Each structure stands twice: as structure tokens, then as C-alpha cells.
Amino acid sequence: MAKKFMYINRKAPYGTIYALESLEVVLIGAAFDQDVSLAFIGDGVYQLTKGQDTKAIGQKNFSPVYSALGDYEVTKIYIEKESLEERGLTLDDLQHLVWEDEDEDYAEKDSIRLVSRAELADVLDEQDVLLSF
């Protein structure tokens, strides 16, 4: 039986390598047919902002990879509402992440689930494996 795996992302990108190397685990982990979800909490929400341009800092911009997660069947992306609000952000500031539902003639569906702390606490509580980086 598939286990519920949740990747907890609480770090902003580029300042440290955690966000990038966490994404690398998600991509590899997608091959294992588990019940995968991602949570973006605190500064983790900065990983998903639009308009990242890393040319001048000499690092690779890995933000486009998030939009490919749907192709890896990673379709449950939880964003903590309060974390966005604290940072003066709204969903419009983040990439629009979607997946195609093959059971519904490849209808495009939103991957992002904006949830309150209370809701996210319930989701966390259901997990079998929590990976934090």
C-alpha cells in the first residue's frame, strides 16, 4: 500500500541549497508510486514566486521545474495561507501550477491548494513520512 509522503518546504531558494536539493528528491521520489504532497510553509512560499531571474547571481534558476511537477504526477501542493499573507503575497504572486487529469480527458486542474494553518495541521497529521530539508 502506498504511503503518504509529504515534503515540507520552509526555506527560501538561492540563499541556501535546501530548496533545490529538496526538489531533486521530489523528482526522484515521484517514480516510487507513493501518495506524494508538498507543503510550502514560511519562507518556503518564496520558492514558488513568479519572475525569478538568477542570471546576475551566477546560480541556475530552478523555478521553472515546479511547473513540471504535474507531469511527474505530483499534484497536491499545499500553501499555508497565513505564510503568504505575512509576506504580503497573494496566489497571484506565485506560479500557476497545474496537472492534467487523464481520467477526465486530460482536463487541466490546479495543483495548488491554499489552506489555513488549521487545515494544513490536519493534512500533516495524516502523513506517514515527513521529509524536511
Least distance to other proteins from the beta carbon of 83, Å? 9
**b/e code 86-103 from CB counts within 10 Å (16+ = b):** eeebeeeebbebbbeeee
The CB density around residue 13, as the number of other CB atoms within 10 Å, is 24
Structural contact between residues 41 and 22, judged by C-beta atoms closer than 8 angstroms: no
**Given the complex with other proteins, which of 109 and 116 has the nearer CB atom?**
116
User: What phi, psi does 3 have (nearest 5°)?
Assistant: -95, 155
Tell me the torsion sign for CA atoms 49, 18, 9, 87.
Answer: negative
Least distance to other proteins from the beta carbon of 16, Å? 9
**Given the complex with other proteins, which of 86 and 108 has the nearer CB atom?**
86
Least distance to other proteins from the beta carbon of 129, Å? 4
**Given the complex with other proteins, which of 19 and 97 has the nearer CB atom?**
19
How many whole angstroms separate alpha carbon 50 and alpha carbon 76?
19
Least distance to other proteins from the beta carbon of 106, Å? 27
**Given the complex with other proteins, which of 8 and 48 has the nearer CB atom?**
8
Rule CB under 8 A: which residues touch other proteins? 3, 5, 8, 10, 17-18, 21, 24-25, 28-29, 31-32, 34, 41-42, 82, 117, 120-122, 124-133
